[in-house]
Amino acid sequence: MSDSAEDDRAFKARTRTMWATGDFPRVARETIKDVGPTLVTAAGVRSGQRVLDVAAGSGATSIPAALAGGDVVASDLTPELLAVGEASARERGLSLEWVEADAEALPFEDASFDVVLSSFGAIFAPRHQVVADELLRVARPGGTIAMANWPPDGWVGQFS
């Protein structure tokens, strides 16, 4: 394994620990609560569509996508966040699939989603081009990819 692959793995392990340690679900509820529903509306998510939320965290976009009628898969590197999202969805009577996954190596077949979303999640992956390639790969031809991101030159962008 090359040093860069080892560095990448170590970075992702640190990132996963950071997201699992803090109270990100509370931060999301208090600071970006309207972004998920807005992104779902902008992407035109509707009943019957297969939807992937990449770097879904605790489901701030996945849950609104399910409420819009999407058949939703929420994926994230941090299983602790997925567990919070799954519990929240269950409380609302929603059934989503929750999958631990790296945005740079999504475990889904090519062209398997009508809509691919990411709300303040994929931006934190270390290799943005690799993530973009993965989003394109799993979206069906003519499908929709919609993202909400902070600008890379802002203070949050510098965090990644």
- 16 Cβ partners below 8 Å, 6+ apart? 77, 78
Q: Predicted confidence band at 121 (pLDDT cuts at 50, 70, 90)?
A: confident
DSSP code, position 47: T
Please write the tens of the pLDDT for every residue from 4-51.
Answer: 777 777 666 666 555 556 656 555 555 566 889 999 999 999 999 999
* Cα 5 from Cα 149, distance rounded (Å): 26
In this predicted structure, the answer to whether residue 1 has a pLDDT above a threshold of 50 is no
- Count of Cβ atoms closer than 10 Å to residue 25 Cβ: 18
Q: Predicted confidence band at 159 (pLDDT cuts at 50, 70, 90)?
A: low
DSSP code, position 103: T
- Which domains occur in the chain, in start order? 3-159 (3.40.50.150)
pTM of the entire predicted model:
0.81
**Average pLDDT for residues 118-123, to the nearest whole number?**
86
